[in-house]
Amino acid sequence: MSSTEDIIGRSDVNDLEEILAITNTDVDATIHTVQDNADAIFTWDYQKGARPALEKLYEKAKTSQWNGETDLDWSIEVDQEAVVAANALANNRGEVDFGGTVLGSWDEDTWTRFAIESQNWMLSQFMHGEQGALICTAKIVETVPWIDAKYYAATQVMDEARHVEVFAKYLNDKLSGAYPVNAHLKMLLDDIVLDSRWDMTYLGMQIMVEGLALAAFGFMHQMTTEPLLKQLLRYVMSDEARHVAFGVLSLKEYYAELTKAELRDRQEFAFEAAVRMRDRFMQQEVWERMGVPVMDAIQVVNERVPDQKIFQQMLFAKIVPNCRKLGLLDAGDAWLRDRFTEIGVIDFEHMPDTGEEYEMFALAEGEVASA
Ligand SMILES: [Fe+2]
Ligand SMILES: [Fe+2]
């Protein structure tokens, strides 16, 4: 069993100074190499449908493909300033008093610039996360021992290529500058790829990263008034819901056979991932670019903007019920339940899990132009 320090590199999960000390020092590199420590597994058991839930998901994926170039209306002009102004209004940000803080001197223009940077940052991190998913899913094709899972994972590889493609295009054509990968996200993606155990790829990617993405995309989809981004997120979410279901359905079977000690490893990994993702949403690079003392700014926002905390917690709305469904919350001495309580997200445990939810997210007949 590991200590908090062994798992996340610091003993206090909320130590802001230590969190901000982690930065991306590799911002100019074009290539990043990670050891993929896993065996490629062939199976000679080709019996399709041995796992009916995965087969159903695979058949569903085959008929749910869309084309990022032609199904989205890229002719829509995006006025980013107007978009962030509408978001700020919806967020009631204008009503917060920052007097006497490092943000006290910011005028309307500075807040607009911040909101634009923040949107560039947010969509950049989603793009990088999507590439993480592309790589992880290709790895799952190699490492998972079940033919139904290999088939399904192959469709997810295509989905993720499309997601990277549309986020990159949106950032490039419609927004105003991409950010390098956030250091906390990068650490997490590296750790997922480095792990040799096939189920850890699923746990890190399908359950944690994609679980968070599904919640965040849902929130952004609801919030934004920009029709192209709304449509893009709608399409991506219909795929993401299947991906999270793939994780839940695969791991549910596998985790039923694991020992307490093996489950504890998975609990620790889930906790590490949760902390990394929470840390990344402090968007330290944006505050840095705005030229304010980063730690002060983050503290001020956390204290004075109630929506901020709600948003950060809401990101766990899919992860916690899915961990519960997998038996990870209460395995052993309920170690993960205690950790999720500590970081303030345990209240989501009874929300619907994502094993079947993909049906609800599916695109309706006629919603996809090219289908
Ligand atoms: Fe994706
Ligand atoms: Fe995905």
Distance 110 CA to ligand 2 centre (A): 34
Least confident of 125-129, 287-291, 312-316, 324-328: 312-316
- The CA 9 to ligand 2 mean position distance, Å, reads 28
Q: For residue 255, how far is its CA from the centre of ligand 1 (angstroms)?
A: 24
pLDDT tens, residue by residue, 244-274: 999 999 999 999 999 999 999 999 999 999 9
Reported as a pLDDT band with limits 50, 70 and 90, residue 371 is very low
Ligand positioned closest to the Cα atom of 163:
1
Using the mean position of ligand 2's atoms as its centre, give its distance from the Cα of residue 249 in Å: 15
Centre of ligand 1 to C-alpha 163, Å, is 5
Q: How far is the CA of 133 from the centre of ligand 2 (A)?
A: 6
- pLDDT tens-digit readout, 348-362: 999 988 877 788 888
Q: Name the average pLDDT for the chain.
A: 92
> Mind listing the pLDDT tens digit for each residue in 6-33?
999 999 988 999 999 989 888 888 999 9
Ligand whose nearest atom lies closest to the CA of 241: 2
| Alpha carbons 259 and 196: distance in angstroms, whole number | 18
pTM: 0.95
Domains in the chain, start-ordered, CATH in brackets?
52-69+106-361 (1.10.620.20)
pLDDT digits (tens, 9 = 90+) for 193-240: 999 999 999 999 999 999 999 999 999 999 899 999 999 999 999 999
Kindly identify the ligand whose nearest atom is closest to the C-alpha of 136.
Answer: 2
The alpha carbon of 191 and the centre of ligand 1 are apart by a number of angstroms equal to 18
| Of 91 and 112, the one with more pLDDT | 112
